[in-house]
Amino acid sequence: MRKVRLLFMPMVDEGNTNAQSLNVREIALRLDPERFQTTLWYESEPDPRLRNRPGIRLLHLPSRHKSLRILRETLAGYDIIAYVDYSPASYVFLYLPRPLRRATKAVFHVEAPRAQIVHPTRTFRFLYEGIFPRCDVYTGITEFVARDVYSSIGKKVSYVLPIGVDTRAFTPPVRRANPVPVVLFVGTLVERKGPLRVIEAAAQFPHATFRLVGASRDGFDDILRKEISRLGLHNVTLDGPRTQSEMVEIMRTSDIFLLPSRLEGIPKVTLEAAATGLPCIVFKDYETPSVLHGVTGFQVAAVEEMMQALAKLIADPSLRERMGAAARKHIENFDWDLVSRQWQNAYLEIATGPAK
């Protein structure tokens, strides 16, 4: 049986914490090596788990002429190019005549609604408008995102493929014994993610501790520090970015997960938080399946509801414990070992389907 030749576009360097990179690594590690030959890019040092694995080929991307090297590889007769990105190489590939691209299918994995793109540069807008509508196959991370793809560019999503979590790495502690509840936010420190709402919550609940973990973008951490100082808060910390192993321990030593973002797909951090037994509070705008309202946490419609849900969890340790246990049980349905089978089946069908 001929193997499906699959090229993933994201870099898989060990220190890369980009969500697409993390997802690609988990999927590649679980594809059947008897049925797939997977090629992955790295720039410095690849995730060590990928080395010397059957069915996985690692390519070092040179520091010069990167786009030309990537473009040359896309023309090497792959069955599938997955996780098509907004790069010059992807743009050129998609505008080449079909005979040059042969039967290769370009697969775009949509992980968030279009409205998440805010104030794009001219270059990004050019690449986005040129690449997004020209792919051969579209997948969506949720049904909500699938509907957004159709409303945005009139393309139907062929597969709804959720992302997963390694439930063996992210596990609950034996018990939680913080003297006061610890409310955790994890995400890039940008306005869209809602960290100012976390500061607002810290002011409203002075007897809880609030931790914000994540890298800052465009100096937004300075805005947060100024607000913390203005309000005279002593129950908030900005912890900066952390590694995956550090995140496991941070989640295990927290009590509640709060994500005030209004635009997401399936936030990876909600999967990880739930796997460690944390009840989650999210907005219901994007209909994430990672949180079951009233069972594993709360999906709220407004900031006032967010504060009310947070008040309930801060005041009631038994509610936190029940919801945390339910969250862990629910999120086992999103274990990468299960989710990756859906990706594998989709790739097998795509590879044998007709070219665009």
CB-CB contact of 198 with 303 (8 Å): no
- Which alpha helices (H) appear in the chain, and where do they start and end? 19-30, 66-74, 88-95, 98-101, 122-131, 143-153, 195-204, 220-231, 244-252, 268-275, 303-315, 317-331, 336-352
pLDDT of residue 356: 60
**What are the angstrom distances between the C-alpha of 53 and each of 8, 11, 27, 105, 212?**
16, 17, 13, 25, 36
CATH architecture of the domain with residue range 4-164+336-352: 3-Layer(aba) Sandwich (3.40)
CB-CB contact of 304 with 321 (8 Å): no
Is residue 210 within a helix (H) or strand (E), and if so which, with residue range? Answer: strand 209-213
Same CATH fold assignment for domains 4-164+336-352 and 182-334: yes
Number of other CB atoms surrounding residue 356 within 10 Å: 13
The CATH classification number of 182-334 equals 3.40.50.2000
CB-CB contact of 36 with 347 (8 Å): yes
Print pLDDT tens along the chain (356 aa).
789 999 999 999 998 988 899 999 999 999 999 999 999 999 999 999 999 999 999 999 999 999 999 999 999 999 999 999 999 999 999 999 999 999 999 999 999 999 888 888 999 999 999 999 999 999 999 999 999 999 999 999 999 999 999 999 999 999 999 999 999 999 999 999 999 999 999 999 999 999 999 999 999 999 999 999 999 999 999 999 998 889 999 999 999 999 999 999 999 999 999 999 999 999 999 999 999 999 999 999 999 999 999 999 999 999 999 999 999 999 999 999 999 999 999 999 999 987 66
Number of other CB atoms surrounding residue 43 within 10 Å: 15
> What residue spans define the domains of the chain?
4-164+336-352, 182-334
pLDDT of residue 252: 98
pLDDT of residue 18: 87
**What are the angstrom distances between the C-alpha of 92 and each of 72, 123, 128?**
11, 14, 13
* 144, HSE (Cβ side, Cα atoms, 13 Å): 17
* Spatial distance between the Cα atoms of 102 and 157, rounded to a whole number of angstroms: 23
pLDDT of residue 1: 72
* Spatial distance between the Cα atoms of 299 and 296, rounded to a whole number of angstroms: 10
Residue 17's nearest CA partner among 276, 337, 242 is 242
pLDDT of residue 213: 98
